[in-house]
């Protein structure tokens, strides 16, 4: 019987301590329910922001490759038809990739705005507001 009373005492103390430690309160003793950010939302926002940065960097690389391809195409002599053909094919492929990437960036921006992620201002949205 003595063990049972000790066990009940320990259970009661642990329940009372758990109830008091689980309530958020400010210095006034008033509960603070102002800000709640669910952890799943912040991780989703972080991953969306990361993929958006990745897409924007990829778009910049594609633009650089298009500029470089254009320079090489100007410098190649007209007699080298096979090189000119490959460069024009490369140019069209880079343009399609850039267009596809632009659509993916736009989609990601819309997803970020729909999710309500804080602190997002991307170049395409700021360009729309200014014009």
Residue 92 near residue 73 (C-beta atoms within 8 A): no
Question: Per-residue b/e over 24-35, b at no fewer than 16 CB within 10 Å?
Answer: eeeeeeeeeeee
pTM score of the predicted model: 0.58
The mean pLDDT of 85-98, rounded to a whole number, is 95
pLDDT at position 32: 53
Nearest CA to 102 out of 58, 68, 64, 65 is that of 58
The mean pLDDT of 102-114, rounded to a whole number, is 89
pLDDT at position 34: 56
Residue 125 near residue 55 (C-beta atoms within 8 A): no
């Amino acid at each position: 019987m003595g063990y049972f009373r000790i066990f009940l005492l320990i259970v009661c103390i642990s329940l009372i301590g758990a109830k008091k430690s689980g309530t958020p309160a400010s210095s006034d003793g008033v509960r603070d329910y102002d800000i709640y950010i669910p952890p799943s939302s912040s991780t989703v926002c972080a991953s969306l922001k990361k993929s958006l940065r990745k897409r924007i960097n990829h778009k910049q690389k594609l633009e650089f490759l298009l500029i470089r391809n254009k320079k090489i195409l100007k410098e190649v002599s007209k007699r080298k038809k096979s090189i000119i053909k490959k460069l024009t094919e490369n140019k069209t492929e880079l343009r399609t990739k850039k267009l596809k990437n632009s659509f993916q960036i736009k989609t990601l921006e819309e997803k970020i705005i729909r999710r309500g992620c804080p602190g997002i201002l991307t170049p395409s949205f700021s360009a729309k507001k200014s014009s």
